[in-house]
C-alpha cells in the first residue's frame, strides 16, 4: 500500500490500444493517477471529461494524467474513443494498481455490500513519490482542484 511521501511500487498496465504503460517510465514529471469505478457510468464519465477538458493545462504544467479502473482493455478503448479522452486509461483487471494504492473497499449500493473501487486520485511528484492524495472524491470541481495542486513549471 502506498502513502504520502513513499515511493511507488513497480506497476505496469495495459492500455486501450494494447500497449503497456509502466508507472516508472513517467519518473521525472508530475503524474496524476485517478481511479474510477466503471467506464461509461455517469459519474465516471463526467470525471474523465473534466480531466479531458483540463488536459492541456495539465500538460502545460508538465503533468501526465492517467485513468485507472478494472474495466477491460476493449472497454477502455471504446470509452476513450467515445469521449475523446487524450490520456492513457490503464486496465487493472488483476487489481494490482488498485491494491497498491489501496482503493478497493467495501461499498454499499442499494443496501447490498460489495467490494468496489473508491473514487480516488493521487498526485505523484517527479521523484516517483506520492505528493497529494484525494480519497472518496466527489466529481464536481475535483479535476480543477487537482490541477491547482500541480506546481507551475
Q: Would you call 150 helix, strand, or coil by DSSP?
A: coil
29 touches 63 (CB < 8 A):
yes
Number of other residues whose CB lies within 10 A of the CB of residue 25:
10
Q: Would you call 104 helix, strand, or coil by DSSP?
A: strand
- Rounded distance, CA 79 to CA 81, Å? 6
Q: Give catalytic status of residue 44 as yes or no.
A: yes
Strand ranges inside the chain, DSSP E:
12-15, 20-22, 30-35, 63-69, 88-91, 104-109, 112-117, 120-124, 130-135
For cell 475535483, the residue is 142
Active-site annotation holder among 11, 32, 44, 98: 44
Largest CA distance in the chain: 47
Catalytic residues: 44
Amino acid at each position: 500500500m502506498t502513502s504520502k511521501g513513499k515511493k511507488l511500487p513497480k506497476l505496469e498496465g495495459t492500455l486501450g490500444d494494447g500497449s503497456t504503460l509502466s508507472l516508472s517510465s513517467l519518473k521525472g514529471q508530475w503524474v496524476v493517477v485517478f481511479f474510477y469505478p466503471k467506464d461509461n457510468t455517469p459519474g465516471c464519465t463526467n470525471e474523465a471529461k473534466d480531466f479531458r477538458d483540463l488536459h492541456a493545462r495539465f500538460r502545460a504544467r508538465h503533468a501526465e494524467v492517467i485513468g485507472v479502473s478494472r474495466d477491460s482493455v476493449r472497454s477502455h478503448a471504446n470509452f476513450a474513443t467515445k469521449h475523446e479522452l487524450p490520456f492513457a486509461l490503464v486496465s487493472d483487471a488483476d487489481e494490482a494498481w488498485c491494491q497498491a494504492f489501496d482503493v478497493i473497499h467495501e461499498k454499499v449500493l442499494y443496501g447490498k455490500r460489495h467490494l468496489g473501487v473508491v473514487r480516488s486520485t493521487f498526485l505523484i511528484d517527479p521523484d516517483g513519490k506520492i505528493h497529494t492524495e484525494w480519497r472518496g472524491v466527489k466529481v464536481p470541481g475535483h479535476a480543477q482542484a487537482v490541477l491547482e495542486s500541480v506546481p507551475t513549471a
